[in-house]
Structures are given as C-alpha cells and as structure tokens.
Amino acid sequence: MTTAEMQTQSTFTDYGWDFVSESANGTDNNWRLCVDGIKYPELAWQSITADVACPAGVDFGDFAFFTSRWLEIDCDTSNDCGRADIDSSTDVGLLDLQILCDNWMAGK
C-alpha cells in the first residue's frame, strides 16, 4: 500500500479494524488514527489520555477542542462528542476537564 493509504483510517475500517470514533466494526476501540494523512494507526492504549485533538500531546489545541464540546450529552448514543468524553460517562463535564488538565499539567 502507499503511504497515503496506510495513513487513511478507511483503509483499515474497510477490512474490519475497530477504531476509536467508529462503531461499525465493534465498540472495543482497539485502534486510533488521529487524523488521516498525518500518522499511521496506533493501538488505542498507546495514545495519551486526554489527547482529544491532533497532533499527539495534551495542549491548548486539546483544550479548545474540548471546550467546543463542553456540556454535550448522550455521547454514547447520539454522537461520540469527538473524544471529549474522556471518562466515558456519556457527558462532557467537570471530571473530563479534570482529566484533561491533569494530563496537560503532567506534560503528556
């Protein structure tokens, strides 16, 4: 495969790979690809907790992304809240903000 194909999530989901942010191939969320064309897929456990936006690492970009989804609800049924539901409680709230800040302050 070309580099572009290897950096495109649909290349893998078309073969049944289970990625974070999609549920057609299951809900185990084994794989993660931050954004098409930037990196290769990685195992979901390898990604940094609270890294909700690209590139890798927790910074102002993640905070801005997170605040754009502040107080969204029903993240597991109506939408995925764009990974801003860090604690998987189905809502984007204070505990998610605490997790984001803890990881940011730890320099991750």
What was the pLDDT predicted at 4? 94
Report the alpha-carbon distance of residue 46 to residue 11 in Å, rounded: 20
53 versus 1: the higher-pLDDT residue is 1
What was the pLDDT predicted at 77? 65
What was the pLDDT predicted at 108? 63
- This model's pTM is above 0.75: no
Both tokens assigned to 2: 């070309």
Q: Which percentage of the chain shows pLDDT scores above 70?
A: 94
- Which of 11-20, 75-84, 89-98 is predicted with the least confidence, judged by mean pLDDT? 75-84
Q: What is the torsion angle, in degrees rounded to the nearest 10, for the CA atoms of residue 99, residue 105, residue 107 and residue 108?
A: 10
